[in-house]
Amino acid sequence: MPAYRVVVRRGPKVDKHAADTLDAALELLERHARAAQTGPRRATVDLHVRRFEPVQQVAARIELRGGGLRAGVDVRGDGSAEAWTGRLRRVLIQQREGESPYDALRRRVDPQSASVGP
């Protein structure tokens, strides 16, 4: 049984992938998130009561589960991405200068393998 699972949500479609190590799971997560970032952009949704700009919409959510860990990356409708942790309540991971959301996620969940300095 794999130690980690990566769940990719794009609209109504859900794909689940398995990984034996945290490093492999993080690489899988980054690959799927970067693919989602290059996908089609979302348009503004106007409900006459409220408008949702592309940056406010989650186009894809890639979640990492396993080892008591719940974390992931949300790809926004404008192609931007942000990392988060948490299960019921998501907490954004603040990116440091020059750090990608993937580096920030790696720093938070696996400090030993982080490639970005303090």
- The amino acid present at 10, given as its one-letter code, is R
Region 79-91: mean pLDDT is: 93
Give the chain's mean pLDDT. Answer: 89
Q: How far apart are CA 71 and CA 91, in angstroms?
A: 9
Which tokens in the block code for residue 107? 């720093």
Q: How far apart are CA 4 and CA 20, in angstroms?
A: 6
The pTM of this model reads 0.84
pLDDT of 73 higher than 90: yes
pLDDT of residue 116: 44
| 26-52 confidence digits (pLDDT tens) | 999 999 999 999 887 888 888 889 988
